[in-house]
Every structure is written in structure tokens, then in C-alpha cells.
Amino acid sequence: QHHLIIAPSILSLDYSDVDHQLDLLKRSRAEWLHFDVMDGHFVPNLTFGPDILRGFKKACPLFMDVHLMVEDPVFFAQVFMENGADLITFHTEALDNDPARIRALLREIHSHGVQAGITVKPGTPIEPFAGILPDLDLVLIMSVEPGFGGQSFMEDQLEKVKWLHRQRMEKDLPFRIEIDGGINDKTYKKAVAAGCDVLVAGSYVFKNDVISSIAGMLE
């Protein structure tokens, strides 16, 4: 249904060598850039603000895939939409998994002409959101606890991917399925076989040859 997209996570980019790494990304087959926003509260780590997104957007023509790991996604969705996000994905947990609040934020994001997705931590089930699937451009399944790059892939999370893939086929829905955490030259195959069409990869891409590690996952 969808073609496979690689979304390198700039969380793992070497910040002592940004120019060169951006040049490699531009020459690679990556279509998206995965931009992790952490507020030090929803997860115990702190990353990028809106000015950094605006800079990346200017320096690099890729689709900006913004993953909000923040306590107040309503506030931060607005801020990042104003600064170049093409897709905003937020955690259901940050809205108490409340379908009404989730739907309201999805509507708000869509009203700006920006794509919208939801994501769940490994311990949060996805089935309760079956009714929301028609409103989504994307569902992101976390295959590590959000907060840090370089953790190992939680294979049990692929059950969620398989369930989403079945829902998508049965109901003929257009949302993409993205996976984030521990993707490398071994695990990406399992993710694709389960039904993922967007692969986030951080440490694997930036600790290896950027261009060939991205190309390898597309073969």
C-alpha cells in the first residue's frame, strides 16, 4: 500500500559535525527526518526547541517528522507547526489516553494542513484506539522506552504492528505504520515483515556509513 520510508533520527546525529552529516543525509535515500522533542518531564531527557527545527528545515529539504515526547502536546504541536513540522506525532499518554482530547488535537493539527499521528509507549495497548484510526495519517509504535537512542529493540511490540496492519487492511484505512527504537540491519526486516512502512533509525545510521546503511534497509 505505502512504499518504505526511512526516517533517520537526528537525536543520534554527531553535533560536532553537523554540516557534513546533513550533506550525507541529503545525498542519501532518506525521505524523512525524525525530530525527537523531549521536555525533561514526559521523558527524562531534553532535546530540541522550535528554532532548531526551523534551522534543519532550512538546511535540508526532507519531510519533517516531529515526535513529541512532552507533557503538553497541545501547546507544543502549535509551536512546532509554526516552525516547519510536516507531521506531528504525540503520545496518547500525555492526554490521559482520552479519545476526546486526542481527537481534538488531531483536528487542530489537521486544520493547519499538517499531518497527524499518535504514538504509544511500550506498556500502553493500542487496541483502545481502534475508533481513532480513521482520523490518522500515521501510528508510531515505540519499540523502546522513549527518552534515549541506542537501546535494544523490543520485539514484542511487533504484535501491535501486526494488529494495526490487519485493521488497516480490513477497514481499508490509509494511515502509515512507523516504528521507532532499536532499528538496525537485523531488526528492520522483522518490522517490515510485520507491516511497518516507516522506519526510524538513529544510532544505527549515524554510527555507520550514513548513505549505505539507509540504502541497505531499502533493498
Q: What amino acid positions are annotated as catalytic residues?
A: 36, 180
What does the alpha-carbon distance between residue 216 and residue 209 come to, in Å, rounded to a whole number?
10
Number of other residues whose CB lies within 10 A of the CB of residue 211: 15
DSSP 8-state assignment for residue 153: P
Region 22-41 residues binding ligand DX5, contact defined as CB under 6 A: 34, 36
Q: Per rule CB under 5 A, is residue 39 in the interface with Zn ion?
A: no
Report the residue number, 9 or 115, with the smaller CB distance to ligand DX5: 9
Using rule CB under 6 A, residue 11 touches ligand DX5: yes
Cβ neighbours of 108 (radius 10 Å): 16
Q: Pick one of 12, 21, 28, 67: the residue that binds Zn ion (CB under 5 A).
A: 67
Say which entry of Zn ion, ligand DX5, none residue 202 contacts (CB below 5 to 8 A, set by partner kind). Answer: ligand DX5
User: How far, in Å, CA of 155 to CA of 101, rounded?
Assistant: 30
According to CB under 5 A, which residues from 176 to 205 bind Zn ion? Answer: 180
User: Residue 99 interacts with ligand DX5 (CB under 6 A)?
Assistant: no
User: What is d(CA 171, CA 164) in angstroms, rounded to the nearest whole number?
Assistant: 10
The two beta strands, 115-120 and 138-142, are parallel
Beta strands across the sheet bearing 198-201: 5-8, 198-201, 176-180, 138-142, 115-120, 87-91, 63-69, 32-38
Q: Which is nearer to Zn ion, 40 or 99 (CB)?
A: 40
CB of 198 to ligand DX5, least distance (A): 12
- Whether 105 and 62 have beta carbons less than 8 Å apart is answered as no
Q: Does 201 bind ligand DX5 (CB under 6 A)?
A: yes
203 is a site residue for ligand DX5 (CB under 6 A): yes
Chosen residue from 129, 181, 195, 198 binding ligand DX5 by CB under 6 A:
181
> Where along the sequence are the contacts to ligand DX5 (CB under 6 A)?
9, 11-12, 34, 36, 67, 144, 146-151, 180-183, 200-204
> Where along the sequence are the contacts to Zn ion (CB under 5 A)?
36, 67, 180
